[in-house]
Structure 1
């Protein structure tokens, strides 16, 4: 079986980390949080309510892609969270990963996601940026390897569905 590298994607507040951690545990692979790859300048910009530009994101996406490539080359696989909102961002991740990447796109209503963001106290992303993320979001294309899941059912069911979707 091929080494599994998964990007759990979607807008801020959709539950990427909530699903990605148990998914990595279930698959027996390392987990990484994309926020840990951001530069201090990016975090400061987002904390101030300013959306990142493509130029801001490029080194961040390249670092995540390199992490995926290292996981694949080591034979261990991995699961990482990453908004991966645009096709061009996912293309960059795939190019840096230099191999197959499975994208698990978590979706939810703007009301549900907005409520989740409002309740968070430990994250730098302000609720004001949700609108810009939703405007930027490009759903997975038919030619992209992945699966889109609505987050309403809850993390346990989403992890089970993701594992089924990863099976060849």
Structure 2
């Protein structure tokens, strides 16, 4: 860990750039997604504070984790496949926030995902998803939504 914190700025940027190239390279990944990952690259100042070094070390370790790399690559591949099928709607930050907030409130309230209490929450989110993608709320859409959530559901991606 100490060696990671001592890397030069160029070597730190190369570490993150290599991670991005490995996880998003080789297919038509969503440019907004790739830009978002690139923009998350922190600068470690010369007069670094301990918490900044700790955060950089955490980031470096995360980007070197093969399981995390594979998860992000699956996200990018999924987005590329969606783009190949004509999806040009972008990253959907508002939709992501709505899902996170609604699901978070439900879980905090002790609502089990498969319970009758969860059904109206799921229905409302599915309607929102259908509107975002201009699709009908049917079994195909719900399968697509489930797949998308499973692929994008790695909490380490949010931490990144």
TM surpasses 0.5? no
- Larger Cα-atom Rg: 2
Higher helix fraction: Structure 1 or Structure 2?
Answer: 2
Task: Name the one with the larger strand percent.
Answer: 1
Specify which structure has the bigger relative contact order, considering alpha-carbon pairs within 8 angstroms and separated by 6 or more residues. 1
